[in-house]
Structure 1
Amino acid sequence: MFWVTLIIGIVGAAVTLALAGRRVLFLWKLFKSGQPDPERVLQVKRDPKADIEGQVVEVMGQRKLLKWTIAGMAHFAVMWAFILLATVYLEAAVALLFGLDAKIPGLQTWAPIGFVQDTIALACTLGLVVFAIIRIKNSPKKLDRKSRFKGSHTGGAWVILFMIFNVVWTMFFFRGVEWANGNLDYGKGAYFSWLVGQPFKGTSHDTLEVLESIGLLLHIGVALVFLVIVVNSKHLHIFIAPLNVMFKRRPDGLGPAQPMMSKGKPLDFEEADPDEDTFGRGKIEDFTWKGYLDMATCTECGRCQSQCPAWNTGKPLSPKMVILELRDHAFAKAPYLLASEEEREKFTDEQKTAMQVDKELVGEDGVIHPDVLWSCTNCGACVEQCPVDIEHIDHILDMRRFQVMIESSFPSEAGVMLKNLENKGNPWGMSEMKRLEWIEELDFEVEVVDEKLPEDTEYLFWVGCAGALEDRAKKTTKAVAELLHIAGVKFAVLGPMEACTGDPARRLGMEFVFQMLGQQNVETLNEAGAKKIVATCPHCFNTLANEYPQIGGNYEVVHHTQLLAHLVEEGKLTPVTPIEENITYHDPCFLGRHNKVYKQPRDIMATVPGVKTQEMHRHKDRGFCCGAGGARMWMEERIGKRINTERVDEALETNPDTVSTACPFCLVMLGDAINEKKNEGLAKESLEVVDVSQLLIRSIKGEKEPAAAE
């Protein structure tokens, strides 16, 4: 019996490893064919400690998955079962190669090990039950778009659950018979295996030998079949998710938009050649090897989709489906990509069609529909929620770059914004001299930089285009200026020397305009001697702090809520007058998810007497976008429900007297939606959207409305 078992096991293993190895080799070649991305490897070499931390926290600790408590705990149990039950397969290999009674001293005789193995296997089984319930309860057939599994390969997921269950029951069958045959030395430590073995007590030794051999082969056979399924399915993430976590970007928050790269180097616009260099992603072979790794790692869990503001308001964008469609296209085109020039010439037209050789990456009949590409607000909910650290925004932005810079294909209204940025230095096309008009409404002087910042200046106040030119945002600007004046903080503004940071251009995909504006601003800031900057707009804050270092601008940048919270804490600002209002706070995406500033705006409101705060059901890292990011502020929203309307509906559920925020874009978007609700009779006439700085100045000065807003 030993030799029969051994031959069957070895032959099965050889066939399986050959099939799996062939697939792994294909994937390796495909990943290797991607564009170079040397920074990913360099960051691992520079900071191996951060990589170890990522593996411990993200992979082993399942940090992101455990945010979804029940599903996270179930996945935690199943994942650790895979790791710990490898010891059972080690035991099975010993039994196969050396006989059923062979044992590894210490490992297979210490009862606590048997206890852990049985316990994690039972926890895994419970996890499978939880997964099954979740999938039935959230079936796309029942919930359609409300299901996070909409668009996922649900059939394949059920196959995997079935295969994991097979691993568990064959383990207990094999070990139960093993105990009855006297070959399981854990005793009652392996309590469930011992329990399964009870019905086999009294069976003849020869029969137990046969049953144990069958159980052994079944247990090994399930693993071998499982391996082939895994390397050919979405569950490949079992092996490559740790790699994706290792090579992810590592900012504190979502980080800056990446500079345009070509052949692994930053693109030089002055010397770039459209025929030789890569301008964004115009075809699947333009993606880097990390892009391919992202595609192959997607688990199809749909957490990104469930949080996406575009998907939640009836638009065609699903971050999950973008990755899956790119993946399927990459796999279809792979034989062509990996073929030599001679081999390509031999492909027939039918073969090329099957391989999607001539299929557009973005187009009406392309891999990605334009409406999908332009629905993205860059809010970062998808990246924040992804348990395997896929970088959806980077891929969407790179595809936008090709469409804008090479194809000149983008929503027409965004073209007006670009022209205004190029000609006037702001998205509205207003005169640069209008940037100083808000100062005239204050009763104190504001220092305007001529060439150099005065020596006693603590902060350069970056007002921003909205803060200087948009009426609602100007109220925030004046409130912040007055608060800094009251606190005795010396600050100055650039006035007409200030230009748009370039964020709308960059997030649209027009990198050239971003570079032009950015270099102009960096030159101005450096000549002025700016070291510390405070900004009221999270988009300006993010660009100045995270993206300008890419073009030589290195400054200490704070958001106004961070500075004001610090001044309140130091006692330089003291709110005294009660504001008896129920207030709900909206987290701006570029302040919250992009830069992890959640605490300070809430701290400011907490210091104002009388204020009662109530969170919307989606807040902080699960906050819902206002709809303005990703240059959407300057594009019409023609598909589905307006994102700002959806967000205001959530705010109204808290029955607020005031909605507060900390972003001029959010002020505009939420304000417009609230005005619509007022016209429909669905919101209080007194309901307003204000910046947290306006609440603070009201309490400090004892006014119903801040003086700056009059």
Structure 2
Amino acid sequence: MQLAAIIVSLVLTAVGVALISRAVAQIYRFVKIGQPVPAGSRTDNPKQRSITLAREFLGHTRMNRWGIVGFAHWFVAIGFLTLPPTLAQAYGQLFQADWTLPWIGDFLPFELYIEFIGVMTILGILVLITIRLLSLPSRAGRKSRFAGSKAWQAYFVEYVILTIGAAILTLRGLEGAIHHVEHYEAAYFLSYPLVVAFRGLSTETLQNLIYLTAMIKIGVSLIWMIVVSLNTNMGVAWHRFLGFPNIWFKRNADGATALGALQPMTSAGVPIDFEDPGEDDQFGVSQVEHFAWKGILDFSTCTECGRCQSQCPAWNTGKPLSPKLLIMSLRDHAHAKAPYLLAGGGKDAEGEEKATAEQLAGVPAAALAEAERPLIGTAEENGVIDPDVLWSCTTCGACVEQCPVDIEHIDHIVDMRRYQVMIESSFPSEAGTMLKNLEKKGNPWGLPKKQRLAWVKEVDFEVPVVGEDIEDLTEVEYLYWVGCAGSLEDRAKKTTKAFAELLNIAGVKFAIMGGEENCTGDSARRLGNEFLFQQLGAENVAMLNMAFGEDDEDESTKLPKSKKKIVATCPHCFNTIANEYPQLGGEYEVIHHTQLLQHLVDEGKLVPVTPVEGLITYHDPCYLGRHNKVYTPPREIIAKVPGLRNEEMHRHKERGFCCGAGGARMWMEERIGKRINNERVDEALSLNPDIVSTACPFCLVMLSDSVNGRKNEGKAKESLTVVDVSQLLLESVRTPAVADDADADSAPEPEPVK
């Protein structure tokens, strides 16, 4: 038994170590296929990055959002990293059954730790196996977050962990028996029942059982190593190694998710100068090797857990996009194409092969065939990513928010869109109208600039316009950035007028840019037209800097950022000006209107007194909530309005469900599956509310359209309204004229003057 155990274990060890060494080298070379990133963008503040990594791993801060799953996974992960000493001890036991690790083998704290973590690893993996087994049949098809994952790989990894955990516990019992533990000892506080069970066996039998169990522990570990070495795209196994660098190299050193701003478009790691682009600049991604190396690392790290898929509004409404399946497709394609790329293969801008026939002579036929596949293409074209997958994304950020290993899905999707839009001119036809309107009129509807001021004539107070009523913004406290929807869309204009009236009531000095406003470029950028975004953004930044009194020739006139205050009712404008205009030289202090309104209510400058009766449910706009973490102000405003009873939808805050308008989807038809706004409204209707509230003009339009449709179908009560939070607040702050008249009629007649 001993000889067999030694031979089997050492042979597997030699093969496993050789293969894992080769696999690590392959993955390293493979990740380096990707393009460089801007200098310092992934390595700045190494101390903070290390703290972030330690916090996310040791605290399991992202996994623990999933309750018992996070708790169980923590013990499995900790066990994997800290139980290798038991593997070393198993090697020693092959040669001497009662061998223990020197120095620490009989150190009580070490033995207690091994006992506890060993048992908790077994319990943890049993919980995860049970969840997977129960999820697949109980949530068949698209309802399971595991749909599309490679099930055999997951089960293989899970049962390997279970077997190794059982071997550790069994060895502990055998060790106690062979070391003649005759009564309960703390060192065996969990394995003592096994010690008792084995205690009556002969020494020879105990030795043979130790040889056998040690061989099983070592053999299963090495078989796992061999299998994952031969499957470098086995993310469910490799994520336990690659997750650490993927988290360390994440976009934000402080641990913030890759949401909010999109990254500037780069070529070979250098931001593209759109005023004078280089001849060889690569616009977007048309081949997998055009992704940055962090993208390649992202793809390889995916553990196929499906948390992104379970939260994706496109997937949940029957569309072909699953963030998980997209990342898996890119990973599998990249790994299959890697031998071709590592041999020097690749196509130039004209589609000509860069490598010589001699260089490609040893490349497998499968890799050469994979290299011919278009990155974006239909099934008939043998494309890696179907166009319907690419254009289904609303960039809501649910995938990025939920991913436990910090994969940056939106950046990769937009990079692929950029090439399709700017080079191939291939995108949904309806979006072309929006782009033309932005180019010619500066707004998606193509309306004349003077229309941006039409709403001002509908209010009975003065709204100063920069350049007409005031010279610049030094005379007011806030610039109110009205935005395209707030100026031009009838439903959104109600929000604009309500917010302006609230500012007037509170005595806040503000002004607007009027016809000088252009679209911020949010939809153009997320559609993939980076050039148009740069153009619109540069015009807006120049206009804003001038309006804030900045003079390029006189540095002393420039206002500090804290004095350049902008308030926006549109989360898309808010996000773009606050997070993306700094890329264009525009540094401003930007807040959302709900943040300012909450502040004014707290200060007593706005006092909600008139009851607004009814049950209300609040919808979180993605670009206000997930992208910018503004969840509390709208809810606090609602809580201050007397009469309202707030009830949350099942999906809210970090797990809020998109309205369907983000990522330029506002301007595209929704032809596949259920409409996303209908899915969201149906969730709201399950609460039977009187009011559905939000804080975004895009959401307001999408939810209103769906509610009106549901009313026509008889599925929603006619009294149901969709309003912005500011409209609710204004209704409560105002003292109704009807109430004043009623009070006057009921007042006693004054006595005649004598």
**C-alpha distance in structure 2 between counterparts of 1:353 and 1:36, whole Å:** 23
1:193 Cα shift?
3.0
Percent identity over paired residues: 55
Does the CA contact (< 8 Å) of 1:352 and 1:358 recur in 2? no
Deviation at 1:455, TM superposition (A): 2.8
Q: Is the 8 A contact 2:122 2:166 kept in 1?
A: no
Q: Deviations over 1:113-168 (max 9, x none)?
A: 32222222222222222222222222169611111111100111111111111101
Aligned-partner Cα distance in 1 for 2:436–2:181: 77
Aligned twin of 2:406: 389
SS at match of 2:443: coil
Structure 2 residue corresponding to 1:459, chosen from 463, 478, 482: 478
Structure-1 separation of matches of 2:138 and 2:294: 34
Q: Give the aligned partner of residue 37 of structure 2.
A: 37
1:414 to 431, 446, 456: 431
The answer to whether the aligner puts 1:362 opposite 2:380 as a matched pair is no
TM-aligned CA deviation for residue 4 of structure 1: 7.4
Aligned to 1:244: 246
Q: Distance in 1 between matches of 2:483 and 2:112?
A: 62
CA contact (8 A) 2:610 2:734 kept: yes
**Structure-2-length-normalised TM-score:** 0.89
Are 2:563 and 1:545 equivalent residues in the alignment?
A: no
Question: Quick check: 146-155 or 192-201, which moved more?
Answer: 192-201
* Partner deviation per Cα, 1:575-610 (whole Å, 9 max, x = no partner): 111111111000000000000000000011111111
CA shift, 1:350, in A, is: 8.3
Query: What secondary structure is seen at the aligned counterpart in 1 of 2:573?
Result: helix
Aligned to 2:102, the other structure's residue is in SS state: coil
* Between 91-100 and 366-375, the greater mean CA deviation after superposition: 91-100
Give the root-mean-square deviation of aligned CA atoms: 2.2
Name which of 58, 62, 66 aligns with 1:64.
Answer: 62
Q: How far apart, in 1, do the equivalents of 2:167 and 2:711 lie?
A: 64
Q: Deviations over 1:166-211 (max 9, x none)?
A: 1012112222222211188994422333322323224333332332
Alpha-carbon distance in 1 for matches of 2:471, 2:45: 38
Tell me, yes or no, if the aligned pair for 1:111 and 1:187 is still in contact at 8 Å: no
Change (3 A) 1:226 1:145: same
Q: How far 1:269 sits from its partner (Å)?
A: 2.2
> How far apart, in 2, do the equivalents of 1:367 and 1:312 lie?
22
Of stretches 280-289 and 179-188 in structure 1, the one that deviates more from structure 2 is: 179-188
Alpha-carbon contact 2:93-2:211 (below 8 Å) kept: no
Confirm whether residue 127 of structure 1 aligns to residue 124 of structure 2: yes
User: Equivalent residue for 2:206?
Assistant: 208
1:99 is displaced (CA, Å) by 7.3
Q: Aligned in 2, Cα 1:252/1:31: closer, same or farther, shift over 3 Å?
A: closer
Query: Amino acid of the residue matched to residue 266 of structure 1?
Result: P
Instruction: Provide the rounded CA distance (Å) in 1 between the counterparts of 2:88 and 2:181.
Output: 14
Paired residue type of 2:519: C
1:166 aligns with 2:163: yes
Could you say which residue in structure 2 is the equivalent of 1:266? 271
1:423 corresponds to which of 432, 436, 440:
440
Deviation at residue 101 of structure 1 after TM alignment: 2.6
Distance in 2 separating the partners of 1:221 and 1:287:
38
The alpha carbon displacement at 1:252 in A equals 4.5
Paired residues of 2:8 and 2:219 also in contact (CA < 8 A):
no
Give distance in 1, aligned partners of 2:112 and 2:640: 53
Structure 1 residue 42, shift from structure 2 partner: 4.6
TM-score, normalised with respect to structure 1: 0.95
Q: Which residue of 2 aligns with 1:303?
A: 307
1:345 and 1:9, CA in 2 relative to 1: closer, same or farther beyond 3 A?
closer
Aligned residues: 701
Cα pair 2:284 2:415 within 8 Å, conserved = yes
* CA displacement at 1:278 relative to structure 2: 1.4
Counterpart of 1:590 in structure 2 is 623
Give the Å deviation of 1:60.
Answer: 1.8
Contact 2:594 2:695 in 1 (8 A): yes
Distance in 2 between the 1:94 and 1:382 partners?
A: 46
8 Å Cα contact 2:247-2:405 kept in structure 1: yes
Bigger shift: residues 642-651 or 134-143:
134-143
Shift of residue 95, structure 1, vs aligned partner: 4.5
Partner secondary structure for residue 278 of structure 1? coil
Instruction: Identify the match of residue 112 of structure 1 among 109, 114, 132.
Output: 109
Q: 2:711 aligns with which of 678, 683, 687?
A: 678
Deviates more, 1:378-387 or 1:206-215: 206-215
Amino acid at match of 1:306: S
* Whole-Å separation in 2 of the counterparts to 1:272 and 1:472: 41
Q: The residue matched to 1:467 in structure 2 has which SS? A: helix
1:544-587: per-residue Cα shift (whole Å, max 9, x none)?
00000011011000000001101111111111111111110000
- Rate the CA distance shift 1:506–1:344 in 2: closer, same or farther, 3 A: farther
Q: Equivalent of 2:515, from 484, 496, 521?
A: 496
Q: Which moved more, 1:638-647 or 1:162-171?
A: 162-171
Q: Shift of residue 111 of structure 1? A: 2.7
Structure 1 pair 568/108, CA: closer, same or farther in 2 (3 Å)?
same
- Partners in 2 of 1:462 and 1:643 — Cα distance? 28
Change (3 A) 1:17 1:703: farther
**Alignment correspondent of 1:87:** 85
The amino acid across from 1:260 in the alignment is M
Q: Which residue number corresponds to residue 695 of structure 2?
A: 662
Kindly tell me: are residues 140 and 285 of structure 1, through their superposed partners in 2, closer, same or farther at Cα, counting changes over 3 Å?
farther
Output the amino acid matched with 1:62. Answer: H
C-alpha offsets along residues 649-668 of structure 1, whole Å, 9 cap, x if unaligned?
A: 00111111110000000000
Rounded Cα–Cα distance in structure 1 between residues aligned with 2:656 and 2:197:
55
Q: Which residue of 1 aligns with 2:365?
A: 351
Q: Which runs of 5+ in 2 are unaligned?
A: 345-354, 550-563, 739-754
Contact 1:460 1:533 in 2 (8 A): yes
Q: How does 1:284-303 map to 2 (within 5 A)?
A: 284-303=288-307
Give the secondary-structure state (helix, strand or coil) at the position aligned to 1:299: coil
- Which of 398, 410, 421 is the aligned partner of 1:404? 421
Alignment check: 8 A CA contact 1:448 1:492 kept = yes
| Residue 699 (structure 1) shift | 0.3
Q: Is the counterpart of residue 563 in structure 1 residue 586 in structure 2?
A: no
The structural deviation recorded for 1:112 is: 3.4
* Deviation for aligned residue 1:220: 1.9
- C-alpha distance in 1, partners of 2:482/2:343? 54
SS at structure 1 position matched to 2:479: strand
Equivalent residue, structure 1, for 2:633: 600
Q: Is 2:571 aligned against 1:573?
A: no
The residue type paired with residue 116 of structure 1 is: Y
Distance verdict in 2 for CA 1:318–1:572, change over 3 Å = same
Partner of 2:317: 313
- Helix, strand or coil at the partner of 1:690: strand
The answer as to whether partners of 1:336 and 1:344 remain within 8 angstroms in 2 is no
Q: Matched residue of 2:140: which SS?
A: helix
| CA offsets 1:83-125 (integer angstroms, 9 cap, x no match) | 33233224335545887434322x2223333222222222222
What is the identity, as a one-letter code, of the residue corresponding to 1:64?
Answer: R
**Structure 1 range deviating more: 64-73 or 458-467:** 64-73
Once residues 528 and 567 of structure 1 are traced to their aligned partners in structure 2, the CA distance between those partners, rounded to angstroms, is: 25
Residue of structure 2 equivalent to 1:708? none
Instruction: Give 5+ residue unaligned stretches, structure 1.
Output: 706-710
**SS at 2:475's partner residue?**
coil
1:526 aligns with 2:570: no
Q: 1-side partners of 2:24 and 2:303: how far apart?
A: 18
Could you tell me which amino acid in structure 2 is paired with residue 478 of structure 1? K
Is the contact made by 1:252 and 1:596 (CA closer than 8 Å) also made in structure 2? no
The residue type paired with residue 499 of structure 1 is N
CA distance in 1, matches of 2:471, 2:332: 55
Q: Indicate the SS of the match to 2:190.
A: helix
Match of 1:226?
224
* Structure 1 Cα separation of the partners of residues 569 and 583 of structure 2: 22
- How big is the shift at 1:502? 0.4
- What is the alpha-carbon distance in structure 1 between the residues aligned to residue 505 and residue 51 of structure 2? 44
Give the distance between the partners of 1:344 and 1:532, measured in 2 at CA.
62
